[in-house]
Structure 1
Amino acid sequence: MAHRESDPKEVARRYVEVVWNEGNIEEMDEVLTEQQVYHDPTDDGEEPLSEFKEFVQGYHRAFPDLSFSVDRYIAEGDLVSFWGQATGTHQGSFMGIEPTGNRIDLMGINVVRVIDGKVAERWANFDIFGMLQQLGRDPLSA
């Protein structure tokens, strides 16, 4: 049986808690490798952990009560996929949108690659279109 800290599903669970639910920038060093590889529909490539920390801080400033509840984790080898609901209240500037006080509730799907007990590569796809609508913006308008 794998040691708890090296079990990819446990590492993915810790990633969700530390990064998205707690926004714990200091503890992220224990959960993620210094150099990340990141993939989403708009970006693909290497990302230093320091840049990802700034990204996470931006989300937590905009949505201080941000929470990601995971429906299921599925692991195969060093890859773990998981999906669930992200919720929060828009209380800070986000993507040029001043605070609205609106609640967001959107689905997201993630995959992480775990190497030596840390997340080293991430794929993410969230309903940003729906989130912008929930913030009162029409994503289709120029």
Structure 2
Amino acid sequence: MDHAATMRSTYELINAGEIGKFGDLVADDFIEHQGGPGFPTTKEGTLDFFRALRTSFPDFRMDVEDLIADGDKTMARVSVTGTHQGDFMGVAPTGAAVHMDLVDIMRFDGAGLVCEHWGVADMLSLMHQLGVVPSGAPA
């Protein structure tokens, strides 16, 4: 199975707003290790998180910069962009165009479905861009 191609497909489907089709690539017993705040760490919680993200950032886009596959795991360095048009984590829409980097690791089961996910996102940079956290050196 080509796990790298499946991982790329997850991003393409999310970019297209096709969250249900993204869900077709995710195992029913999926475990999210770094879920979105307030969302269950399950398949449905993850799908709900991406639906909410697409509402907050309607032009939300994830572009793979690097992708490495080994055995049942893949890792990607991803560039994320979007425009803040809806409430996000309690932050009212700012209209700000944002960019954030993240690293994702996905593990695949025997059927070729994503069964686990670990991720690290540069949330501090995002919060700076939304004006929630001041940027620059501390006072």
Q: How does 1:109-128 map to 2 (within 5 A)?
A: 109-115=103-109, 116-128=111-123
Q: Does 1:106 align with 2:100?
A: yes
Q: How does 1:1-142 map to 2 (within 5 A)?
A: 6-19=1-14, 21-40=15-34, 47-115=41-109, 116-138=111-133
User: CA separation of 1:110/1:91 partners in 2, compared to 1, >3 Å: closer, same or farther?
Assistant: same
Structure 2: gaps (5+ residues): none
TM-score (norm 2): 0.87
TM-score (norm 1): 0.85
Instruction: Name the % identity.
Output: 29
Runs of 4+ residues over 6 Å off in structure 1: none
**Contact preservation (8 Å) 1:41, 1:125:** no
Structure 1: gaps (5+ residues): 1-5
Deviation at 1:25, TM superposition (A): 2.2
More strand by share: 1
**Contact preservation (8 Å) 1:62, 1:93:** yes
Aligned residues: 132
The amino acid across from 1:54 in the alignment is D
Aligned with 1:75: secondary structure?
strand
Q: Deviations over 1:83-118 (max 9, x none)?
A: 121000000000111100001101100000011121
